[in-house]
Structure formats: structure tokens, C-alpha cells
Structure 1
């Protein structure tokens, strides 16, 4: 059995445990020794971050051959029309090449947790929430894709990685799951999970 930790990474927190410049890190929120992120989430993005001390489990989560779908809930500037949504769904060409097709839908999410500082409000500029699911993980890909179709990202929250979801975790909270890794890789992994109450590190 391996242990996986699901953390709701807050805005402007680095996906690492130390920083020479004194910025907020994961150490402010989770104090389990010997773990590290399986993948990363940008400093200015929020949401689900997976951590483990098991290299084999981390490899299974992050290796490109696994094509773990990642779903983001994204607040963008303006209201994308069907042409812009179709472009995102079919793939756009960025400076590092065309993106794979993505699943993109408009999303009404009234219960978004508050962010500090909040997204700047401008009465003359409407905003819209999208849910975007990718099967690749380029640097700042979602932000570059929405900017490409004329709708810059204002807020980005990663909701899920594969079957792991952010549900039930407030910013800064985490929970652990016990994972059973099969002896040999198969087309689909069988995972036994035990859910624990979310926890928040107290400073």
C-alpha cells in the first residue's frame, strides 16, 4: 500500500517545500515528512495537488504515457462565443505546437471559495467560468489557450487529476488516501482507497 496526499493548494503558494525568497510554500500547509509533489501547479493557480513519498506511484501519476486527464475550472475575461469554444475543443496552435483536443464547457460555479487577493472586478468587462479537461500538461497551457482565443484567464482552479477530485477540501486543507499498486502495470489500475477527514496545518 502506498499513501497519496491530496492538497488544495491556495493561490500564490509554491508547489515546493522551501524557498530562498521567503514566499509561501507547501510547508505552510502540510507537514508530512518525506513527501513531494507528483506534478506541479503554478504559483498563481489554485486547486488539487497530489503528493507522495512513493516514486513508483508518482511515476504512474505523472508519466505522459498515462495521459491522466486534468480538469480545470477557469474564470476568463469576457464571454467566449461558440467559435472560441470550438477552437479550444479542437486544439489551438501555440508557440510550442498544436494542442490536443480538449473537453470544454461553460460552467456555472457559484460556490467558488474566496481568493485573497480577489480577482479585480470591472463592471464594464463581464467574466465567464469554463471547465476545461486536458490530456497533456504543457507549461501554463490553460492560460495560453484561453489567451489565444481572446479570453485571458483571471482565475484557475484545478479540480481533478484522473479520478482524484478536490471535492471537500477548502484552500489549505488536505487528506490522505491509501493506494494499492498492482504488481505489474495493466491497462487500468485497481486502487483501494480509504478517505480521511480533511486536515489543515495550524500555524
Structure 2
């Protein structure tokens, strides 16, 4: 194996001699050339690091710009929505200003009457239902909870309060909710 490596070593030394002679002809010092690649490698690494750092900065800046653009778009959309809502409120206010106070009072009283009529209809329906359940009991027998039923009917009747049109109206809407509930309508 030694014999086989010898020609390679000889060729290498010849080439190295030729490289040195060429460098000498050009005026380059071979010792400086040997140091130079190590310096170039470190400079190349520094440049690579700078490039990576600048790319990270550029990526961060582009993301920040993208986020800023998104936020600006959202702000613009919110401003437009606010302006539309303000414009709609201004129009509604102008329409309210154009209403005749007597018409408004008439509408309020009509609404109050309708609410009272609905409440009375509910009470009548509950009373009829309670009366319909009465004959199904044996005659002469008074149920134990009849006092409670009468009391609940009285409470239900007292839950409907209708006053002047600009006052509060309270209605028992338990039939709608399936449980005892209250609705308050103010300034109809």
C-alpha cells in the first residue's frame, strides 16, 4: 500500500511547488495566503450571521406592518360603523322631533289599553280553567288547597297595573314563560 500512496504524495508536492511558484510570480506571500482562508471563513460566518439577523428583523418588521395594517382596517371599520349608527340615531331623533305630542300620547294610551285587555283575557282564561277543574271534584268535598288557589287568582289579578300612559305598566306573563315571570313596560 505504501507503493501506491507514493505517487499521490509526489504529485501533491509537485502541485504545491507549482502553486508556490505561481504565487511568487504574482507577488503573493504563501504564509499570508495560508492565514487568509481562516480570516475569510470567519468573515463569511460574520456575514452569514448578519444576513440571518437582518432577515429576522425584516420578517419581524413585515409581521408588525401586517398587524398594523390589520388593526388600522379594524379601526376604520369600527369608525364607519359608529358613523352609520350615529347617522341613524340622528335620523331617528329628527323623526321623533317631528312627531306630534298628541299623537304620541294617543299611541301610549292605545298601547296601555291593549296591554290591559290582554292581561284581562289571560285572567279570564285562568278563571275559566280553574272553574272547569272544579266540577271534576266530588260534590260536597272542599279541596285542601282551594284557599291557595283563590289567593293565587287574587295575586294574579293584582299583578296587572295600568296607570297613566307615561307611567310604568307591570304585567304577569307567566303563561308565556311557563313559570312566574314579570315584564315591565315603561314609557310605551
TM-score, normalised by the number of residues in structure 1: 0.19
Rg larger in structure: 2
Higher helix share: 2
